[in-house]
Structure 1
Amino acid sequence: MQQKPSNEAGPGPAIILVEAQLGENIGAAARAMANFGLADLRLVAPRDGWPNEKARAAASRADHVIDAAKLFATTEEAVADLAYVYATTARNRGLPKPVVGPRAAAAALRGRSSAGQATGILFGRERWGLTNEEIALADAIVTFPVDPAFASLNIAQAVLLMSYEWMSAGLDGRITARAPVAAFDATPAPKAQLIGLMEHLEAALDEAGYFRTADKRPTMVANLRAILQRAGFTEPEIKVLRGVVAALERRHEKRRRADEND
């Protein structure tokens, strides 16, 4: 008999597995999600394709998670509709992002979920985790308190830990983080809109000659994206900023035409 998800924990974060290599690990992650009331499984380019019968077998009747799993070609597509995302990593990447433990992350996710915000947690490849570019899409980093001499966690184990903390945060009153109370809607814009702003700004800066050398461009772009990501812009704020960029583009175009006429 197929088990059904419980509604006790309320709506939960999307669990996003990036380029998972083994179907068995996907299935074990789905089983862990079902144990603790999570059901939104997102798969980014799994190595062995999807659907995967090994994943279904390892899920141990968590068929509702497997059947509803969504497939994406890129991590950007997988997070596009989310307002707040955590990235899991055991290594210090030197990125300017808040770093929290799983308990604090789960409490914050509970608060954001109660405020109606769509959230997610990124988990990387079994062998080497997430890239810096993928982590740059997240708002904060989750790291587990493990032995530094043996810090690597199986992807399903990591999903289990976060799913457990999510459930625990809703059952024992340890909800310590809430969305800020304000007179206006401070909900962060979906990632798709933020990514659009980033790409629009980068294209405008390319046209203006801001990136003077090709070798420095990736680092400069990464720094710009980190600044924009950290701000937590709302949808109206992003519309304003894109209008500013568009106005600068028009001014640059007028100047270029004037120079050509001269």
Structure 2
Amino acid sequence: MTDAAQPAFVLVRPQMGENIGAAARGMLNFGLDAMRLVAPRDGWPNPAARAMASGAGRVLDAAEVSDSTAEAVASCHFVLATTARPRGLTVPVYSPEAAMVEARDRIARGERVAVLFGPERAGLENADIARANAVVSVPVNPDYASLNLAQCVLLMAYEWRRATAEVVPHTVEMAGAVWADQAEVDALAAHYESRLEEAGFFFPPEKAESMKRNLRNLWSRMPLTRADAQILHGVLRQMVRWAGRGR
């Protein structure tokens, strides 16, 4: 992915190489690789960052290093600043989700977007936030609003992925199985009904039809695979054999 097709994640005066590496890993998890660093405290490159990146070293290799926030965002048209605390500035405030939707839409129009992340100790300073066009406020616990740098990067990267990729909200991992079709469910229902009939389960007689209907409805509500149906047939057959031996 090129810088033009994604927001640049700008780590402003990061203090620990480990957090830079963890941020790189989080970015790459969600398809981002445009990292910019502003005056990293321990210099650059940083061995601790590479050790923590765990396979995301290419993000670190391509990272742009600047001396100031102004230099890091000079080429951008729209800048977002992440902060958990009100700063006394008049500025639009986005949720992480809305921020990444806005970033997506602006990038689609050909704009370049950056997201600022502050240093671990105290976050972004007002001078950094004043350069941003909008603020991103994470809805954290107000009694404990401090987010780790890499956590914040991961959260924003995740929202970027949600905004730009098709995310399936729910699915079932079939592991090679196939769903039972209606004929197979009907056969299973008939098998159980016939054996239960023999066992005198449907009693009293006037309630038999509603009991059979409820039992059939039970099978319909169950998301059965073909293998499930075969197992349930086998269970019933074995129980019948066992019951026959006990007579």
When normalised by structure 2's length, the TM-score is: 0.65
Deviations 1:110-149 (A, max 9, x none): 1011111110100001010111111000000001010000
Alignment of 1:106-121 (within 5 A): 106-121=100-115
The count of corresponding residues between Structure 1 and Structure 2 is: 166
Q: Tell me the CA shift for residue 171 of structure 1.
A: 2.0
Q: Give SS of 1:150's match.
A: coil
> Equivalent of 1:159, from 149, 153, 159?
153
> Equivalent of 1:23, from 12, 17, 25?
17
What CA distance in whole angstroms lies between the structure 2 residues aligned with 1:108 and 1:18?
22
> Equivalent of 1:123, from 114, 117, 124?
117
Per the alignment, residue 138 of structure 1 pairs with 132
Give the CA RMSD over aligned residues.
1.5
Per the alignment, residue 188 of structure 2 pairs with none
> Equivalent of 2:78, from 80, 84, 96?
84
> Equivalent of 1:64, from 58, 62, 65?
58
> Equivalent of 1:97, from 91, 96, 101?
91
Deviations 1:169-225 (A, max 9, x none): 11248xxxxxxxxxxxxxxxxxxxxxxxxxxxxxxxxxxxxxxxxxxxxxxxxxxxx
Unaligned runs of 5+ in 1: 1-6, 174-262
Per the alignment, residue 257 of structure 1 pairs with none
What CA distance in whole angstroms lies between the structure 2 residues aligned with 1:132 and 1:112?
25
What CA distance in whole angstroms lies between the structure 1 residues aligned with 2:76 and 2:69?
12
What CA distance in whole angstroms lies between the structure 2 residues aligned with 1:94 and 1:147?
20
> Equivalent of 1:36, from 10, 30, 39?
30
Q: Give SS of 2:143's match.
A: helix
Q: Give SS of 2:10's match.
A: strand
Query: Where in structure 1 do 4 or more consecutive aligned residues deviate above 2 Å?
Result: none
Q: Give SS of 1:76's match.
A: helix
Q: Give SS of 1:165's match.
A: helix
What CA distance in whole angstroms lies between the structure 2 residues aligned with 1:15 and 1:114?
17
Q: Tell me the CA shift for residue 63 of structure 1.
A: 1.5
Query: Identity over the aligned pairs, expressed in percent?
Result: 56
Q: Which protein shows a greater Rg? A: 2
Q: Tell me the CA shift for residue 42 of structure 1.
A: 0.5
Alignment-mate amino acid for residue 76 of structure 2 = L
> Equivalent of 1:47, from 36, 41, 51?
41
When normalised by structure 1's length, the TM-score is: 0.62
